[in-house]
Structure 1
Amino acid sequence: MSGTPSKDRYGRTLARLVLPQGSNVAEILVSEGYAMVYWHADVPRRIFENLLELQRDAVKGRVGMWQVVDIISKRSDTYVGNRKSKRLFTFMCDGSGQISAKNRIEFRNVEQAFDMGFAPARHCRIWPDQ
């Protein structure tokens, strides 16, 4: 681990994991489509922006989990986001109606939301069923 680990509001450890040869594990996972960027106030802006750029490349390349973006985008669902929390909801998802007008943003499709750094709200299922 690099630096001193911190805790989030749920008591989970937040740390930067670097392999012996210097590779950042988060960067590897995001760039290969095995993880998505999940904005949090405790994450420094430059780290978030770096990971988001790697995610954009992964989405465009349709690698890992991003292979299903086309399937999700073809749905007729309407996607809305909360600008403050950077969480993504389907229009019918619980919580989507509780977003204040100043924080509410509508997306043309789910790919636009991911491109802007939004991540699905925990209780909103947007991925295709396995």
Structure 2
Amino acid sequence: MPGTRSGALPRALRRAGLALLLLVTALSLARAPVSRAAEPNAADQGPGQPDGTVAHCFDGDTLKLRDRRVVRLAGIDAPELGRGQTQPQYYAREAKAELERLATGRQVALLAAGVNDHDRHGRLVAELRLADGRSLNELMVASGAAFFYPHRDLGPEFQERLRDLQAQAIHERRGLWAHLLSLPLARETYVGNRASLRFFPVNCPEARHIKPRNRIHFGTLMDAFLAGYAPARICVFWPEAR
């Protein structure tokens, strides 16, 4: 073509072809379905409930906010205070007092700790963080006022933190561990259920129903807790308050 430098036309065609290819690719990606592997995990969604102020502590693991919401601290359990003719368990009063000291009148952020944010009793289940960023769930376990309570619905990283804090509290005999692990019951054997992550006294009738593939034996009470198992709510061995 007169007046056109040699090679200019092929280069222009190549640039036009590249632009067309990029446009087609972008349109294809826009129409493509989102991969489920790229979707965020429910346990990582962040806070699903508004902040609140703690009004009352029922015991060492459950409290009420001023807006009347009842919250169960995820991943932990504390000794029971008892009802009616049932005597309080050892360290139940101390656990409640510790949670009251840490939380009463304080504003807390409610963070999602797992898949479900309510339990079967209708209570919120969450990790509660104070204004300074500290986790009430972690503080209760670290002080030995409560123990780790594993659950399949909870995030694995959150559970690992609680389990590590419990191990430290056990080794340093903080809170309830000093007396509990000195009792004769601490030297007895226990049987755990891998499916539920709960353990029972070896003579508990319920333990006989554990399937062989799920059965695990612990030589001492401390072994069961360090393995990340929690006491079953049947065949309770926990001592009464002193």
The TM-score normalised by the length of structure 1 is: 0.90
> Partner of 1:24 in structure 2?
135
> Partner of 2:207 in structure 1?
96
Q: Distance in 2 between matches of 1:104 and 1:16?
A: 30
Matched, 1:73 2:181: no
CA displacement at 1:42 relative to structure 2: 1.4
Unaligned runs of 5+ in 1: none
Q: Distance in 1 between matches of 2:155 and 2:233?
A: 22
Q: Distance in 2 between matches of 1:115 and 1:49?
A: 12
Q: Deviations over 1:93-112 (max 9, x none)?
A: 23110100000000111101
1:2 to 85, 93, 110: 110
CA displacement at 1:26 relative to structure 2: 0.6
> Partner of 2:240 in structure 1?
129
Unaligned runs of 5+ in 2: 1-108
From the CA coordinates, give the structure whose radius of gyration is larger. 2
Matched, 1:43 2:162: no
Q: Distance in 1 between matches of 2:213 and 2:122?
A: 30
Identity %: 38
The TM-score normalised by the length of structure 2 is: 0.50
Q: Distance in 1 between matches of 2:119 and 2:198?
A: 17
CA displacement at 1:124 relative to structure 2: 2.6
Contact 2:193–2:215 (8 Å) recurs in 1: yes
Change (3 A) 1:10 1:100: farther
Q: Residue 49 of structure 1: SS of its match in structure 2? A: helix
Contact 1:8–1:42 (8 Å) recurs in 2: no
Over the aligned positions, Cα root-mean-square deviation in angstroms equals 1.6
Letter in 2 for 1:8: D
Q: Distance in 2 between matches of 1:62 and 1:79?
A: 20
CA displacement at 1:7 relative to structure 2: 1.1
Q: Distance in 2 between matches of 1:26 and 1:124?
A: 26
Q: Distance in 1 between matches of 2:177 and 2:161?
A: 18
Q: Deviations over 1:35-92 (max 9, x none)?
A: 1100111110111111000000001111111111131323xx3200001111010012
